[in-house]
Amino acid sequence: MTIKESAVLKKWIFPALVVIAIVLAVVLIRPLLAGSSTATLDPTGISTALGIGITKAPTPESAARAFLDGWQSKDYARMYSLLSSLSRDALSEADFQAFYKDVGSQTTLRSLDYKILSVDMTPTEATVQFEVTLHTILVGDITRQPRMLLKFQEGGWKVAWDDKTVLPELENGNRLVIYRDRPARGNIYDRNGLALAAEAEAVEIGIVSGEINDEDQVVAYVALALKTPREQIRLMIDYDHPDWYTPVGDVAKADILEIYGTLQNLGGVRLTTTMMRYYFGGGVGAHVVGYTQQPSAETKEEYQARGYAGDERVGASGLEYWGEQFLAGRQGGQLWVTTATGSNLAMLAQSKPQAAMAIYTTLDRDLQQQMEQTLMGPFTGAAVVLNKNTGEVLAMMSSPGYDSNLFDPGSFNGSFNNGALVQSIINDARHPLVNRATRGLYPLGSVFKIITLAAGLESGLFTEDTVYNDVDGYFRELEGFTGTDWVIEKDMKPHGKMTLEQCLERSCNPCFWHVGLELYYQDAWLVPNMAMAFGLGSATGISFVEEEAGFVPNPGWKHDTQGADWTGGDALNQAIGQGSLQVTPLQVADFVAAVGNGGTLYRPQILLSIRPPIGEAVLTFKPEVRGMLPVSPENLATIQRGMVGVVNNVKGTARHRFYGISDLVRIAGKTGTAQTTEYDLPHSWFVAYTFSEKPNKPDIAVAVIVERIGEGSTYAAPMARRIFEIYFQGRPTSYYAWESEYGMRGTNTPEETEEPVDEEAPIP
């Protein structure tokens, strides 16, 4: 080699070798450098000069963080994608996810935090030491320092997973097991401390007709045990299938101890004793109290996220559902590490349970139970009883009702024949699960005349001295419409001259058509606004019970949605509670209470108190005023006198229904017969309040509706009377005209009475 050639080599070859060496060095050390997998590495500018794109590989720490972030967010699929190929071969994704879900379930994991403590690495392997804190629902925080092994594969760091990656104790197939300590579910009581729902020994009764020796004896004792009309028990005996078991009811064993032995020995009677969440009286106040069930498949994960195992009985409706946080208490438990064979190794954490609370309601169990047993029988409808001066709900009945015990998973009768009774309740076309007292929507009929009268008196157009002359029983003041009063339809004489107070007590339609039309001419909003001020068209605000707001038709609604103006025909319909008006029985009872107490509209309430076993109540009932009736004391007194006349005056529409009870209690009321459709019978309404001021019996307000049955004084008024008998005397003391025994219909033709049917005015 010549000197010249040697010089050329020194000038070009050696620098080229240096560049190559640097590039190789960069490639070799790339796995050891920290940084993003998408950022370029070019600390010297050489790669840029050479046009080479060099990409960072994730560091062991960033790979570990990605894995732990996935655990935090429960993104198990993302976590599995970060495993090494060997780990994925050894463990399916389904098993991997199941492992982490089981850890979350056993620890009752709510959330977790972590921090990286150290990273040890070689070019192909790394160990990340980290600290993890599991925030659990039942046993508090658990902090451990596991280690995570990683391998460099496929251009990045992958987790070489084993059980100890979760917790150090989970080696050699060890697992976590939570032993739960569940407090007894809290009881639900009435206002007097009588249980409505509690853990109790229940006796479920059934009848096999082919084994009956003495039908009268079977009927008598079963009816006595269930406090049910004998005829109702007799109708349930299935003689067409003598070998079939027919469920007939349930009762707390403690309530039938005196006759239990006799029942047990009666031929044809089958008894099954069960410890269960028992709803006394066959589910007294079922629509309010509700029932419990195990979480559904759709809600199980939600309950588990709150610390439940998922197999508990939880509130499914009513107070049971609303009050779950109080009635369930708080579970405690012990978290153990167990071997693969199930032996306990070590306890990681523990906590004590927190006792459940009891819920006391404003309901009067005896009143509620007797109303359910004897008030409506086979009829469909609702009844509400309020403390007139506080808004406390003393009874809330919806008919047909249902036995909430049948929904208990442990109920023999409920599960018999694949749950046939439960399915019959669910599929019943009469919708027994719907609380008609708060969700049933009805026209109000003549009861609305209370509101029309209030609007008339407050308008200044009418006074207590205003006289209306019902000359012939017809109304002809609106062109295109002739209205007929109920007295004409019953071949009675027209009312003649009356004050507005007397118009109310006699429920004269022409009088209220006249008032409604005059108010319409002055201001079409006068009656709708008064109705809304009485609480109609908006929810009452009662807690935990589903309710409908109802609807008050008004000029704005008519114009905006119906494409027509509010007319005189609309005003006539509204004046007597017809047209598109929709109210709930609870709303009606509430405003009737306000009329009776001087004008205060209270929020109806069912919660009396919520009490822990020891210590102060966490909630105590306080009356809540939600409004005042915009009616002067003088005008309210006129309305009250009219309602007193309905019950007490000779021409009052309900006087004949309350003979003999006036010595016991002083009552003011109003009948209503609300037209439904051309082919249906009308709804029967009666509302009332008492003003007896008895020291041991607060005065009450009552609303009763019976659907599609007939006149208000024929059906609803006698039922209201029965409520007064039960409340003030302790039991029914008079039969309905159609009854064969209390609670049992014996005839379809009760005595008809002199009471108006509200005619809906066609809109001209």
Peptide bond connecting 400 to the previous residue in cis, omega within 30 degrees of 0: yes
| 604, part of any domain | yes
Q: State both tokens at 558.
A: 């008519």
Residue 475: phi and psi, rounded to 5, are -120, 125
In terms of domains, do 478 and 555 share one?
yes
In terms of domains, do 578 and 619 share one?
yes
User: What amino acid is encoded at 19 in this protein?
Assistant: V
Chain centre to alpha carbon of residue 98: 34
Q: Which of 654, 687, 702 is the last residue of a domain?
A: 654
| 671, part of any domain | no
| 138, part of any domain | yes
In terms of domains, do 65 and 209 share one?
no
In terms of domains, do 148 and 185 share one?
no
User: What amino acid is encoded at 99 in this protein?
Assistant: F
In terms of domains, do 122 and 183 share one?
no
pLDDT of residue 10: 46
Residue ranges of the chain with pLDDT lower than 70? 1-57, 678, 747-764
In terms of domains, do 68 and 113 share one?
yes
Q: CB neighbours of 609 closer than 8 A, spacing ≥ 6? A: 359, 360, 617, 619, 620, 621
How far is it, in rounded angstroms, from Cα 35 to Cα 26?
A: 14
For residue 473, give the CATH number of its domain.
3.40.710.10
Sole residue written with tokens 């109304």:
475
In terms of domains, do 148 and 217 share one?
no
In terms of domains, do 207 and 341 share one?
yes
| 710, part of any domain | no
| 482, part of any domain | yes
Q: How many domains is the chain partitioned into structurally?
A: 4
| 416, part of any domain | no
Give the model confidence (pLDDT) of 492-540 as tens digits. 999 999 999 999 999 999 999 999 999 999 999 999 999 999 999 999 9
In terms of domains, do 327 and 450 share one?
no
Q: Which of 361, 380, 409 is the last residue of a domain?
A: 361
In terms of domains, do 331 and 220 share one?
yes
For residue 217, give the CATH number of its domain.
3.90.1310.10
Query: ∠ CA(328), CA(331), CA(333), 5° rounding?
Result: 165
| 703, part of any domain | no
Q: What is the CA radius of gyration of the chain?
A: 38
pLDDT of residue 339: 95
User: What amino acid is encoded at 349 in this protein?
Assistant: A
User: Residues 200, 275: contact at Cβ < 8 Å?
Assistant: yes
pLDDT of residue 751: 53
In terms of domains, do 215 and 265 share one?
yes
In terms of domains, do 17 and 41 share one?
yes
pLDDT of residue 57: 54
pLDDT-above-90 percentage for the chain: 85
pLDDT of residue 48: 39
| 121, part of any domain | yes
Q: CB neighbours of 45 closer than 8 A, spacing ≥ 6? A: none
Q: Which of 334, 361, 388 is the last residue of a domain?
A: 361
Write the burial class of residue 266 (CB in 10 Å: 0-12 exposed, 13-18 middle, 19+ buried): buried
Please, which residues bridge with residue 398 across strands? Answer: 382
pLDDT of residue 359: 98
Domain coverage including residue 139: 60-171
